[in-house]
Structure 1
Amino acid sequence: MQIDRPPLAGWWRRCFAWWYELLLLIPVVLLVQVLYQLGFQLLTGAAVTAVSASAGLRALNFAVLVIAVFGYFTLCWRRGGQTLAMKTWRLRLDGLAGGRPAWPALVVRFVAAAICYLPCAPLWALAWHDRAWLPWAWTSCAWLMAPFVWAWFDREGLLLQDRVAGTRIVRTPPRGHAVKR
């Protein structure tokens, strides 16, 4: 028996949704950052600048931000398969067999995506202050596009993180429209 699955989302739709996701992620990261800084000040009584003066506190701050972003994505993907940007672009994350992906697949997908996307911002921040980091920052931009380049060559057009995790991003019908079979 053939299972009817929604069509895979197109490359451009996924790319534009990714950029929109990035814009929508900024307020999430800023909110977490404000809460981290506020909590730090309330617990220690130290100035906000104390976080940037300590390598350990900077590492903890980074870990808190990564955990928050992990929570945002995995909870959205597990609950309904969609983040706000995915809803806007009518996309949904499914398992390869259809339906919601399991938690392990979501963790693998997030880690695979983070390996490609995460180095870009810190490397550009370093390059901003020290031009010696500029080649590494440009390299991170190329690495950032690796999942999308992978999709051009993948036999099913899956992004790198979807291939690794056993997931796929599909188009959803507009509200009030039935899925064509």
Structure 2
Amino acid sequence: MTRSHDPAALPCPMWRRLAALVYDLLAVVAIVMVVGLLCQLATGGQVVAAGTHPAIAWWYQPLQGLVVGAYFVISWLRGGQTLGMRPWRIRVVGANGGKVLWGQALRRVIVAALPLLLLGLAPWLGLRGAVWVVLAGWAVWFAPALIDRRRRALHDIAAGTEMRRT
């Protein structure tokens, strides 16, 4: 019996993408904790200045963003899968089905992270309100995948990538 469709050519359903994101969230939390520990050790515990108005060092959050972004970019370039994508058997590929290129991976991670800029609304909305706005932003980012024939989210469309089953 032959299969009429190659599973690797099938677009990834949204539920698998979201399940993989939950797994990747665990990896990201671990990465952030390790970077935080290393920064605390390197600065003698001065990453967060104590006082009446605690302040985080200006370089700390951009460093965390770069390290987390590097996790995704390197994972996509080294086989198209993050740790969260492996158990759900999905892979990021170029639009032609080939490997993801540097520019595509970089564009994909930047566009996917853009809703995080909405955290800047926290002074007006409070942290909880800003987090909800970020989640709404990501819902908008993923909405095209619900209607697109190839199940591409906004960051896939911008980068020329797509998610496929492996």
Query: Could you say which residue in structure 2 is the equivalent of 1:13?
Result: 16
- CA-based RMSD: 2.6
Query: Aligned equivalents of 1:49 and 1:135: distance in 2?
Result: 24
SS of aligned partner of 1:86:
coil
Among 112, 130, 155, the alignment partner of 1:161 is 155
Distance 1:153 1:88, change over 3 A: same
Distance 1:123 1:88, change over 3 A: farther
Query: Could you say which residue in structure 1 is the equivalent of 2:81?
Result: 82
Query: Aligned equivalents of 2:84 and 2:131: distance in 1?
Result: 26
Query: Aligned equivalents of 2:128 and 2:76: distance in 1?
Result: 34
Query: Could you say which residue in structure 1 is the equivalent of 2:65?
Result: 66
SS of aligned partner of 2:143:
helix
Residue identity opposite 1:39 in structure 2:
A
Query: Could you say which residue in structure 1 is the equivalent of 2:137?
Result: 143
Mapping of residues 21-170 of structure 1, within 5 Å = 21-41=24-44, 47-50=46-49, 53-54=54-55, 57=57, 59-116=58-115, 118-119=116-117, 122=119, 126=122, 132=126, 134-170=128-164
TM-score of the superposed pair, with normalisation by structure 1: 0.76
Structure 1 stretches of 4+ with a deviation exceeding 6 A read none
Query: Aligned equivalents of 1:131 and 1:161: distance in 2?
Result: 26
Query: Could you say which residue in structure 2 is the equivalent of 1:178?
Result: none
Fraction of identical pairs, as percent? 32
Higher helix share: 1
Deviation at 1:123, TM superposition (A): 6.1
SS of aligned partner of 1:25:
helix
Query: Aligned equivalents of 2:70 and 2:153: distance in 1?
Result: 21
TM-score of the superposed pair, with normalisation by structure 2: 0.82
Point out where structure 2 has 5 or more consecutive residues left out of the alignment: 1-5
Cα deviation digits, residues 82-128 of structure 1 (max 9, x gap): 11111111111100011111100111000000003x247x569x47x
Query: Aligned equivalents of 1:92 and 1:85: distance in 2?
Result: 10
CA contact (8 A) 2:48 2:55 kept: no
Query: Aligned equivalents of 2:140 and 2:71: distance in 1?
Result: 23
Deviation at 1:153, TM superposition (A): 2.8
Query: Could you say which residue in structure 2 is the equivalent of 1:175?
Result: none
Q: How many pairs align?
A: 158
Residue identity opposite 1:34 in structure 2:
L
CA contact (8 A) 1:76 1:82 kept: yes
